[in-house]
Amino acid sequence: MTADPRIAEITARIVERSKPTREAYLDRVSQAISKGVHRSVLSCGNLAHGFAVCSPAEKDALSGDSVPNLGIITAYNDMLSAHQPFETFPETIRTAAREAGGVAQVAGGVPAMCDGVTQGQPGMELSLFSRDLIAMSAAVGLSHNMFDAAVYLGVCDKIVPGLAMAALTFGHLPTIFIPAGPMTTGQGNDEKSQIRQLYAEGKVGRKELLESESKSYHGPGTCTFYGTANSNQMLMEMMGLHMPGSSFINPNTPLRDALTKEAVKRAFAITVNGNEFTPVGQMIDERSIVNGVVGLHATGGSTNHTMHLIAMARAGGIQLTWQDISDLSDIVPLLARVYPNGLADVNHFHAAGGMGYLIRQLLNAGYLHDDVRTVFGEGMEAYAIDVKLGENGTVKRETIGNGPSADPKVLTTHDKPFQPNGGLKILTGNIGKAVIKISAVKPERRVIEAPAVVFHDQQELQDAFKAGELNRDFIAVVRFQGPKSNGMPELHRLTPPLGVLQDRGYKVALVTDGRMSGASGKVPAAIHVTPEAKDGGPIAKIRDGDMLRLDAETGTLEALVPAAEFDARDVASADLSGNEFGMGRELFAPFRHHVGTADQGASVVFG
């Protein structure tokens, strides 16, 4: 199948823009491949350390180069419900490796913080920076150079993008990402949101709120709303880094285990010792990145990926921009309705047809590049499938046809989309550049013109709401929340009060140089404003009472102030000393100092 000419044109310009960096990257990958993994030429001391804890048979196998060794990078911990199932994966992988005639070793662990635990807390200021730290940590594990391929165990928020950055940095190694799946459906996400708003209004207490939250987040697996974690899983499958159909199978089920074992055997098949050598740095190219962006728009995915995808692409020498993402959004329709873009959760999405049905529809419309390499072989057609448990614990795949999904209210056809464009848009104007997620915002709320109310801290807005000072039309400007200021924390504590005010009939919106991520919902929010206030961006010139206009239809974000007056204003400053210490924040001062801008990926290593 051929790609839509508009998709092909955007891909071609990314290829052209990326030529210098991509060619240099591929040259480095080729050089690393030519050196190979030659354990037999390691010093005896090196090798003895590398397999000291292995069995005699494994030591004998690893003494030469003929038996492949699989490196496991794991993000297991008990803090993330989505990562807790990974506790048992290494032993499953080792067993599958032995059965396949190879060896598997845990190469290293990486930090993985739960944004749900740290939401609104000081620890959230480490969250975005943890992505680059995860990439560095994975590099430490793989630097032992004992491995012929790598598998990555990660699911959530910054973890998967960080692991992807590491994988592409070690682009000479074949790579497969192995997910753990979503938790089973608990309390509906819409009911959870309603309880949060009632708590914000003081109509229910902490006991009722905790009971509600515990019903929503109740067991192992990813949170079931369509935030960054589940957007990550969509991306890995859309980019061909997952085994087909593996993204949204619940943890601790026979099918989940079968997919993990299958991934191990496939990892060996794509090593230099196998028949289908597929180094990830050559496999992931500009078409793969575009396929990921297309999937993001078609599902109304996380705004975090307007930064993560840029950083991931740069790790592979590919120069993706916000303009590319915005232009693709204008082309790709929204085909999925998953909370906060609808009432369904990811389990309902999977039951309706899931990734296989989505990929079938995108291929039918020409929105995807089918002619890509994946860990499964050639072409995205192999991913337009339904996956089931076969005989003897094997994986069985069936091709998905062209009819309606099992639930057209959750997953629709490309010719009957929920909206004609994607879930993300880029805004530009005299305030700077920003990102907005519109898939959950009603059309009548996508254009807001109202006076600014300026805050330098999210708690200030909370206090003003509780004091009854915000019962009016306004656009909240929450600044000094960018990566240089305080690590760019997510600001989801703002959602309940702003949602309450919107429900009361007021026209409200948010403008911030901070983040809102995949849970961005019904309130229009211009986020990731660049340049940020700490960099002297125009957002730092806005004053209380300035008329602002957020227009998600035309893609503009303006302070309606005469240009000469606005340009002549001094930029505001803020006391950020309270964000520099405590909960480890002092250790991340170099990150705040060296981090790049949001539109360049907000990275300290690929700025």
Q: Give the pair of three-digit tokens for residue 452.
A: 């600014």
Short-list 311, 353, 331, CA closest to 128: 311
DSSP, collapsed to helix, strand or coil, labels residue 547 as strand
Mean pLDDT, residues 394-398: 95
Annotated binding site: 156, 223
- With a cut of 70, say whether residue 189 has pLDDT above it: no
E runs forming strands in 120-184: 149-153, 175-178
By percentage, how much of the chain surpasses pLDDT 70? 98
Q: Which of 34-48, 368-382, 524-538, 593-607 shows the lowest mean pLDDT across its residues?
A: 34-48
pTM of the model: 0.94
Structure confidence at residue 201 as a pLDDT band (50, 70, 90): confident
The Cα 516–Cα 416 span in angstroms is 29
Mean pLDDT, residues 110-115: 95
Residue in the structure block whose two tokens are 């993402």? 325
Question: Residue 520 has what pLDDT?
Answer: 61
Structure confidence at residue 162 as a pLDDT band (50, 70, 90): very high
Annotated binding site for [4Fe-4S] cluster: 156, 223
Mean pLDDT, residues 42-55: 90
Mean pLDDT, residues 379-387: 97
Q: How many CA atoms lie within 13 A of 303 on its CB side?
A: 32
Question: Residue 2 has what pLDDT?
Answer: 72
- With a cut of 60, say whether residue 341 has pLDDT above it: yes
Find how far residue 467's CA is from the centre of its chain.
Answer: 36
Mean pLDDT, residues 480-499: 93
Average pLDDT value over all residues in the chain: 93
- With a cut of 70, say whether residue 62 has pLDDT above it: yes
Question: Residue 66 has what pLDDT?
Answer: 82
DSSP, collapsed to helix, strand or coil, labels residue 525 as strand
Question: What number of other Cβ atoms are within 10 A of residue 567's Cβ?
Answer: 11
Model confidence over 301-329: pLDDT tens digits? Answer: 999 999 999 999 999 999 999 999 999 99
- With a cut of 70, say whether residue 519 has pLDDT above it: no
Mean pLDDT, residues 106-115: 96
DSSP track, 398-423: EE--SS--S-TTTB--TTS-SBSS-S
Q: How many CA atoms lie within 13 A of 520 on its CB side?
A: 32
Question: Residue 336 has what pLDDT?
Answer: 96
DSSP track, 78-121: SS-TTTGGGGGHHHHHHHHHHHTT-EEEEEEE-----HHHHTTS
DSSP, collapsed to helix, strand or coil, labels residue 182 as strand
The Cα 67–Cα 330 span in angstroms is 49
Structure confidence at residue 158 as a pLDDT band (50, 70, 90): very high
Structure confidence at residue 549 as a pLDDT band (50, 70, 90): very high
Model confidence over 264-293: pLDDT tens digits? Answer: 999 999 999 888 999 999 999 999 999 999
